[in-house]
Amino acid sequence: MRQPKSNMAQMLLFTGKGGVGKSTVSAATALHHAHSGLRTLLVSSDPAHSTDDTLGIRVGFEPTPVTGVPNLWAKNLNAEELAGDFFGQIETLMEKSFGSLPGFDSSMLSELSKFPGMDEAFALEEINRLCSGTDYDLIVFDTAPTGHTLKALSAPDYLNTFLLKILRMKAKIENLKGFFIKKGDTSKLVALMEDFIKRIERLKALLRNPEYVSINLVSIPTEAGYAECARTVRFMESMKIPVNHIIINQIIPNFGEDVWATAADNPAAALLHNEWLIQQPYLGKFRTLSSETSIRIVGMTRLPFEPRGSRLTEVAETLWNERGLRFETFESFNISESEGKAVVRTPYITSAKWSRNNREFYYGGSDAAVGNFVYELSEHLPDVKISRRKQKGSVVLTWKPEADSDD
């Protein structure tokens, strides 16, 4: 039986220190999956916007088709602007609620948008929205440097603390004579913050689902590279978010004793040999970390070319092979035969409705839970042709037998 495309995109997320090759690995991964036939969107929230240089095209804030590569789009996220818009709304509501207080300055709230990790929190929330859409099969997310990403996952704790302070301030002011707080504006302020906190918590639940998300750390065999990677692994463990791979980039290959023996007379060989020796203890530490955590390690040797544009295909072939990265892609919406019935499985929905007469299946909801929804149709379906259309807050799939199809 034919299967429709996914209603929710899977996600491959790459994070790591700045300058370790995150953008190269992300772009090569997106290229690999686009070539395999998946509608793939490469998204970068890195303020350096290295994606433009890596792909060799100008990438904007809207999905940009990558020339010459069917099924591949790229976009940058203006995370600071997303955070600024949100805190601008908070500032307006704070002004309406507390602006009559002597000395109150709501503009101080604009500094909250610059709190470390807040921009990345909004980038992650935008990624969550993209994953929940129906336009792409796979989202490849090239994050900002690790520290921002980790602080973003802690954003709900910080915002909850801030929200508690607002509520305490409100309670104290209500006890003062002569001051009046507009109840409606305060409730809007609280609702706005609670809604964002809820969305980030839902995102964290998504990140814990290895069927739909693969978290991958990119690093290099240096003291700083290993230390940051190890800290990230421990942090992810504390958040109960699984890490799938550690990609160790810029490894100097072992050229063998014959080459190393020339180091005394060959400065180039001496330089490479010294760097190879420096890397060995850190590669050993990465192997130990892998054995302790069961995180798969994938090595990338230093390349003799600039990994950008058309040469990304070579990087993709190195990364995605039987010894490289692994991630099972699948259609997250499917129709399968089960004991004479068709079973519809869709993830992350709150409601569904089957219309037998119209052969339509509706699913959607903005407050979707994590998990699979199983719906048994009351009739046996032959081979069908699927068409799909989006509605506000939901998706409608319509199918009919292939024999009845005109196209």
pLDDT of residue 29: 97
- Give the pair of three-digit tokens for residue 400: 């009919």
Q: How far apart are CA 198 and CA 84, in angstroms?
A: 19
pLDDT band at 228 (very low <50, low <70, confident <90, very high): very high
Is residue 4 scored above 50 in pLDDT?
no
pLDDT digits (tens, 9 = 90+) for 64-121: 999 899 999 999 987 777 777 777 777 777 777 666 655 565 555 555 555 555 667 7
pLDDT band at 393 (very low <50, low <70, confident <90, very high): very low
pLDDT digits (tens, 9 = 90+) for 158-199: 666 766 766 676 666 665 555 555 555 567 777 777 777 777
| pTM as predicted | 0.76
106 within 8 A of 98, measured Cβ to Cβ: yes
Fold of 8-330: Rossmann fold (3.40.50)
Listed by start position, the domains of the chain span 8-330, 334-404
pLDDT of residue 116: 55
Label the pairing between strands 341-347 and 296-301.
Answer: unpaired
